[in-house]
Amino acid sequence: MPELPEVEVTRRSFADRIAGAVIDGLHLGKPLRWPLGVDARALAGQRVHAVRRRGKYLLLDLDEGLLLLHLGMSGSLNFAPQQPMPGPHDHMDLVTDRGTLRLHDPRRFGAVVWAPAEDAPQAQKLLGHLGVEPLAGAFDAARFHAALRQRSAPIKQVLLAGDIVVGVGNIYASEALFLAGIRPTTRAGKISLPRARRLHQAIIAVLSRAVEQGGSSLRDFVSAEGKTGYFQLEAAVYGRAGQPCRVCATPIRSMVQGQRTTFFCPTCQKP
């Protein structure tokens, strides 16, 4: 599944090239997760001003309103001056005077939704519950700690919920908790300020590194159609149950938390 780093890498792959382009037409294939919410013909002639990201949504600012794109479980976007004929899993072509942005999505959990404004109900239904962006200046250690203090659930599940900080998916949560030396089962509200600061730094480090490496992981992702994780070759704990910890050689353990598998080192990560 594309996680925040893959979505950010996708954004960077076409944002500069499509900015300023004029839409010729939006062509949709089989139904995606939600309807577009506007007559697609109304988009023709509008300019794409910028491509922003909020969580795992890409926001294309148009003359009137914005398009919200989500890659779902298996989606990928490609922007090219010429595209081949659409295949059976190509469900959106946004044709512009600079090229065509194509959504390829075999499982069709992706989405293309138009909203009149970012604060309009159509957009807020999708974006309203999202926590702060981990790679933006607004992600502040003291505020992060204060938010964790309000939660009694295990820290791993609080991170995955995405309403305090967005985009820390299963792989990245496991890796960040290892880097911070915090056991995934630790109650969020029990984490001290110094440990919350370490976790804050670890989340930024893990996600930033994944974005830096995104070029190659994104190609893997496209060819594998979302079936494999990224970032796994060098993971400290994720997917390494039974293998020696890279720091202390204790075998890495796995457990199920909220229906997701969690990996941790019982020595390096303290409750």
Write out the binding residues for Zn ion, residues 245-264 only, by CB under 5 A: 245, 247-248, 250
Write out the binding residues for Zn ion, residues 221-240 only, by CB under 5 A: none
- Kindly name the residue from 6, 8, 11, 56 that is annotated as catalytic: 56
Contact between 268 and Zn ion (CB under 5 A)?
A: yes
CB 265 → Zn ion: shortest distance, Å?
3
CB 251 → Zn ion: shortest distance, Å?
9
Residue of minimal Cβ distance to Zn ion: 245
CB 253 → Zn ion: shortest distance, Å?
10
Q: From CA 191, how far away is CA 151, in angstroms rounded?
A: 10
Write out the binding residues for Zn ion, residues 88-107 only, by CB under 5 A: none
- Kindly name the residue from 2, 106, 134, 184 that is annotated as catalytic: 2
Contact between 177 and Zn ion (CB under 5 A)?
A: no
Q: Would you give the end-to-end CA distance of the chain in angstroms?
A: 29
Contact between 265 and Zn ion (CB under 5 A)?
A: yes
E strands, the chain, are: 23-28, 48-54, 57-62, 66-70, 76-80, 90-96, 99-104, 111-115, 253-257, 260-264
CB 248 → Zn ion: shortest distance, Å?
3
Q: From CA 64, how far away is CA 103, in angstroms rounded?
A: 22
Phi and psi, residue 161, nearest 5°: -60, -30
Q: From CA 16, how far away is CA 217, in angstroms rounded?
A: 21
* Residue nearer to Zn ion on the CB measure, 115 or 245: 245
Q: From CA 9, how far away is CA 196, in angstroms rounded?
A: 27
Neighbouring CB atoms inside 10 A of 70's CB total: 22
2 is catalytic: yes
Contact between 267 and Zn ion (CB under 5 A)?
A: yes
Per-position DSSP letters for 82-116, written without gaps between them: S-PSP-TTEEEEEEETTEEEEEE-TT---EEEEES
Amino acid at 222: V
Contact between 243 and Zn ion (CB under 5 A)?
A: no
CB 206 → Zn ion: shortest distance, Å?
17
Q: From CA 63, how far away is CA 66, in angstroms rounded?
A: 8
* Residue nearer to Zn ion on the CB measure, 70 or 240: 240
Contact between 270 and Zn ion (CB under 5 A)?
A: no
- Kindly name the residue from 98, 149, 197, 260 that is annotated as catalytic: 260
Write out the binding residues for Zn ion, residues 11-40 only, by CB under 5 A: none
* Residue nearer to Zn ion on the CB measure, 28 or 205: 205
* Residue nearer to Zn ion on the CB measure, 218 or 245: 245
User: Tell me, what DSSP letter sits at residue 244?
Assistant: B
Q: Which residues are catalytic?
A: 2-3, 56, 260
* Residues near Zn ion (CB under 5 A): 245, 247-248, 250, 265, 267-268
